[in-house]
Structure 1
Amino acid sequence: MFKHIFIYRLKVLLRSKSMIFWTLFFPIALSILFYFAFSGLRTTDSFHSIPVAYVEETENPVFSSLLEVLSQENELFDLTVMDESTAKDALESNEITGYFQSKETVTLKVASNGMDQSILKSFLDRYEQTSATIERIALTSDLSALDWDALYEDTPVSINQTPISNSELDLILSFFYALIAMTCFYGGYFGLEEIIHIQGDLSKLGARLNISPVHKLKTLLYSLSASAFIVILEMSVFLLFLSTVLKV
């Protein structure tokens, strides 16, 4: 009886074109799309320090100190102090991405649009917002009671970062892991199909199954075995495609 029901349900499920498409061919098509969409991200250049100049016509020790920290400790900027004419020549010859000029306010000069220029603009906007906030607080509050030395003391770090492996993290693989999880989730539709198939009040076939001499639980288990076999087969094909064809 198991063999009969198993083969019968196997044939019925394999003839369901929509189920096979959404549980096998759609994930394969989506994996190909992911491969071509994200494969170029592995070959992109790593982050580099942005070449920038600083023209200080009006003394601004806070901003100049901030630039030095970001260029020496964080290596965000490759900073060079220049006069205005030299900075303009360097900008026109693409030796620098842009230059900050300190007068009454700090301004930014760039020659084109791009990622580096956007980073410089975001940095300057954040600096101006923070400076305005500090000035507003200083005008409305009494800051004489603050212990400024304590604000600059190093805070003890109680968390140690320990890598669990020596391999480098590949963020692109997370998309394919999510795709594998989605494919497993889609496999649950086969089980849902079996539940609907055995309900006597939903179809004439279900009514005949409920009055058959075979126990309903056995029929359900045998049918679920056929569904599980198809899901395992589809997942094997999908994983084989990822590992051998796409070499993910």
Structure 2
Amino acid sequence: MMYFWKLPEKNFGIRKGGYIMHLIKYRFFAIVREKTTMFWGFVFPLILCTLFYVTFGDIDQNLECINTAAVVKSETAGAKAFQTFLEAMEDSGEDLFAVEWMTEQKAKEKLKEEKISGIFYVDTEPELFVAGSGIEESVLQAVLESYMGRYQMLQDVLKEKPEKLSALFEQADAEAVYSEISQKMSTEAMQEEYVTETSLGGKKTDGMIQYFFSLIGMTCMFGCFLGFDSVVTLQANISPIGARRCVGAVNKFRLLMIDFVIICIVNFAETVVLFGYMAKVLKLDLGDEWGKNFLIAFLGCLVGVALGILVGSIGKWKESTKIGIMLCVSLGSSFLSGLMIGGIKGLLEEHCPIINRINPASLISDAFYSVAIYQDNERYLRNVVTMAVLAVVFLTGSFLMVRRVRYDSI
């Protein structure tokens, strides 16, 4: 005689719940023990962040005074204007230039002995003579080009509407106008009397902060490797672990959801640590709205992980091919967000703005900008909604592909 025992439903539910918790626990351990993946997702961003900070975090405080000679070649209005400009630059208090007035012969001797970096010729059309092509020479060239651009603009205004420019500066002739304007064209005078560098939200901007925002975007995108590893361990034709998991008691969809939740938590923790390191250790100004910043980071992690799952679920491509695709997408996305070249995002915004609207790393960095710098809620909402849509699209595509996979035998 055979007897069939039926377990009480309550006890079965507890055992089933315990089994799920067991899966979650050991999948978490398996993920964090992947040393290579954890290094690139956790340690590498911290190292890169530190290098960024050391390289140009205090760049404004590390500029050295550039020794320069000036030789007067004529006494025209244009020459006097440039002479006034150099004197104003030297007296601006920024210790950027030290200008010595001397004869041409003495100036060339000092340049040959490398005691000065260049020679400014004060003439109707100012000139610069240098003996090298280093940073200091490039700075001197940039200063001269900046002055000539502004000077040409003033000449055009004086030709077209001289009475308005003269009335503005309360001077009677062009020479007096040139002299007064040249005093205003030094860096400190321009900033103090005409320009205050702020963002649209009224906060002072730091041109280097974009690299740190893009670095957070890269960290989120590196979550694709975690997502890829998880979906590979669900494919019986690729890994032995995948074969074992496919014949288990838990269906594939539930296993994928468990992995997805754990990986998102791990990747989000990596991003939060990086964010905290920037804000608390390096003292970078990332804004005060931590709730919005964490939401941006979390959605960025969702997009990165979902992208990895999607790529890992595609067809019968080799594992190396899929890894190559993820490298190109994650690093390419970070590059287009301005991680390697600061002005590329602005260039894309001018010529092909659609890339900035769909590029995940650009969306992440721009969302941080909208909170910390622009304080633009409309722009912030547009970015976070776009990230949420991308995550849903990637997840939907990956789940559909995983569900269609069947094996004749394992």
Shorter-chain TM-score above 0.5: yes
Show the counterpart of 1:181. Answer: 217
Structure 1 runs of 4+ with >3 Å offset: 44-48, 50-54, 64-72, 75-78, 84-97, 105-124, 151-154
Kindly state the Cα deviation for residue 68 of structure 1 after the two structures are TM-superposed: 3.5
Show the counterpart of 2:259. Answer: 223
Q: 1:176 to 1:110 in 2, by over 3 A?
A: closer
Q: 2:81 aligns with which of 53, 68, 74?
A: 68
Show the counterpart of 2:169. Answer: none
In 2, Cα distance between equivalents of 1:23 and 1:31: 13
Give CA-to-partner distance per residue, 1:143-199, whole Å, 9 cap, x none: xxxxx99x9579xxxxxxx94122111122112112111111112211111111111
In 2, Cα distance between equivalents of 1:164 and 1:47: 32
In 2, Cα distance between equivalents of 1:214 and 1:190: 21
Q: 2:245 aligns with which of 189, 206, 209?
A: 209
8 Å Cα contact 2:71/2:121 also seen in 1: yes
Kindly state the Cα deviation for residue 111 of structure 1 after the two structures are TM-superposed: 8.3
SS of 1:175's equivalent in the other structure is helix
In 2, Cα distance between equivalents of 1:240 and 1:96: 42
In 2, Cα distance between equivalents of 1:30 and 1:95: 36
Q: Percent identity?
A: 24
In 2, Cα distance between equivalents of 1:181 and 1:211: 37
> Within 5 Å, which residues of 2 pair with 1:153-164?
163-164=199-200
Amino acid at match of 1:191: G
Kindly state the Cα deviation for residue 71 of structure 1 after the two structures are TM-superposed: 6.0
Show the counterpart of 2:119. Answer: 98
Show the counterpart of 1:36. Answer: 54
Kindly state the Cα deviation for residue 119 of structure 1 after the two structures are TM-superposed: 5.4
The yes-or-no answer on 1:165 pairing with 2:183 is no
In 2, Cα distance between equivalents of 1:111 and 1:18: 49
Give CA-to-partner distance per residue, 1:21-74, whole Å, 9 cap, x none: 1111111111121221113303145999x8744413xx9x7xx648838966xx
8 Å Cα contact 2:78/2:123 also seen in 1: no
Unaligned runs of 5+ in 1: 79-83, 128-147, 155-161
Which is worse superposed, 166-175 or 35-44?
Answer: 35-44
SS of 2:73's equivalent in the other structure is strand
Which is worse superposed, 107-116 or 231-240?
Answer: 107-116
Q: 1:193 to 1:95 in 2, by over 3 A?
A: closer
In 2, Cα distance between equivalents of 1:176 and 1:92: 45
Amino acid at match of 1:230: V
Higher helix share: 2
Amino acid at match of 2:39: F
Q: Which has the higher contact order (CA 8 A, sep 6+)?
A: 1
SS of 1:25's equivalent in the other structure is helix
8 Å Cα contact 1:199/1:207 also seen in 2: yes
SS of 1:201's equivalent in the other structure is coil
Greater radius of gyration (CA): 1
Q: 1:182 to 1:54 in 2, by over 3 A?
A: same
SS of 2:58's equivalent in the other structure is helix
In 2, Cα distance between equivalents of 1:200 and 1:70: 78
Show the counterpart of 2:33. Answer: 15
Show the counterpart of 2:193. Answer: none
In 2, Cα distance between equivalents of 1:46 and 1:165: 32
Amino acid at match of 1:164: L
Q: 1:234 aligns with which of 270, 275, 286?
A: 270
Q: 1:10 to 1:51 in 2, by over 3 A?
A: same
Would you say how many aligned residue pairs link Structure 1 and Structure 2?
208
TM-score, normalisation: structure 2: 0.40
Show the counterpart of 2:281. Answer: 245
8 Å Cα contact 1:195/1:220 also seen in 2: yes
Q: 1:115 to 1:18 in 2, by over 3 A?
A: closer
Q: 1:152 to 1:96 in 2, by over 3 A?
A: farther
8 Å Cα contact 1:55/1:87 also seen in 2: no
The yes-or-no answer on 1:193 pairing with 2:229 is yes
8 Å Cα contact 2:71/2:102 also seen in 1: no
Unaligned runs of 5+ in 2: 1-18, 92-100, 149-155, 163-197, 285-410
